[in-house]
């Protein structure tokens, strides 16, 4: 697996609605928030190889005998770190140059951002909507206080204690499967109200088969 950066240009006309927490939709954007004729250049990037990626490579998940290895908030492997570091050359050469970096709060995305964008000078925004939807333990996040210990330079002040799909469960390690719903539209809407027209982001689409490679 190789960490690659791709680019796309999106127009506001491609984004029409956003999802509420209960799954219902609402018109988007709110009046006056976004110019419908605006365009944003988004550089997409997938996180590096993780411990769960390695496990799934030799274990077929639809198999009735599959057992979740309980790799909560799975971390990058040594190979994943090497992939992210190698991507630093491409990140530094991005054109147009990003004005903001948007990353999922999952450790694999934050670590990839830290390594790949070391030489890129732009603010980082940590956004839960860029995270994968909950499917396995690896998609369950960690609270900001714990994340801050591993990523001391990242601003997590606006991140809720339980920012991942949990439905108020008292068990923070509860794997509550999340349906895709309109999550992709929600994520795209978030990107359109993010500061700057040139965006780089790291995470993954909250669907089964798409990647948020920013």
pLDDT tens, position by position, 90-131: 888 888 788 888 888 999 999 999 999 998 888 888 988 888
Residue range 13-42: average pLDDT? 45
In angstroms, the CA 109 to CA 116 distance is: 10
Q: Does the pLDDT of residue 78 top 60, yes or no?
A: yes
Tell me which DSSP letter residue 148 carries. Answer: H
Residue range 143-165: average pLDDT? 94
Pairing verdict, β 25-27 and 17-19? antiparallel
Surface-to-core class of residue 59, CB atoms within 10 Å of its CB (0-12 exposed, 13-18 middle, 19+ buried): middle
Long-range residue pairs from 51-58, CB within 8 A, at least 24 positions apart, any chain: 51/75, 51/77, 51/138, 52/136, 52/138, 53/1, 53/77, 53/80
Q: State residue 107's pLDDT score.
A: 96
Q: pTM above 0.85?
A: no
CA diameter of the chain: 53
Terminal-residue alpha carbon distance, the chain: 17
């Amino acid at each position: 697996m190789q960490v690659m950066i791709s680019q796309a240009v999106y127009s506001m006309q491609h984004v029409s609605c956003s999802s509420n927490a209960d799954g219902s939709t609402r018109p988007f954007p709110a009046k006056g928030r976004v110019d419908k004729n605006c365009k944003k250049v988004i550089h997409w990037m997938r996180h590096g190889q993780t411990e769960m990626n390695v496990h799934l490579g030799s274990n077929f998940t639809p198999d009735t005998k599959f057992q979740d290895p309980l790799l909560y908030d799975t971390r990058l492997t040594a190979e994943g770190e090497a992939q992210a570091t190698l991507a630093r050359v491409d990140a530094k050469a991005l054109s147009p140059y990003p004005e903001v970096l948007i990353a999922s709060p999952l450790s694999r995305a934050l670590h990839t951002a830290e390594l790949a964008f070391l030489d890129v000078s732009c603010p980082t925004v940590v956004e839960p909507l860029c995270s994968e939807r909950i499917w396995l333990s690896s998609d369950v996040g960690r609270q900001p206080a714990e994340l801050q210990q591993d990523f001391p330079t990242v601003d997590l002040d606006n991140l809720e204690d339980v920012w991942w799909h949990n439905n108020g469960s008292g068990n923070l390690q509860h794997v509550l499967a999340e349906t895709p719903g309109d999550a992709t539209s929600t994520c795209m809407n978030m990107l359109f109200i993010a500061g700057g027209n040139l965006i780089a982001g790291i995470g993954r689409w909250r669907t089964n088969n798409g990647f948020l490679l920013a």
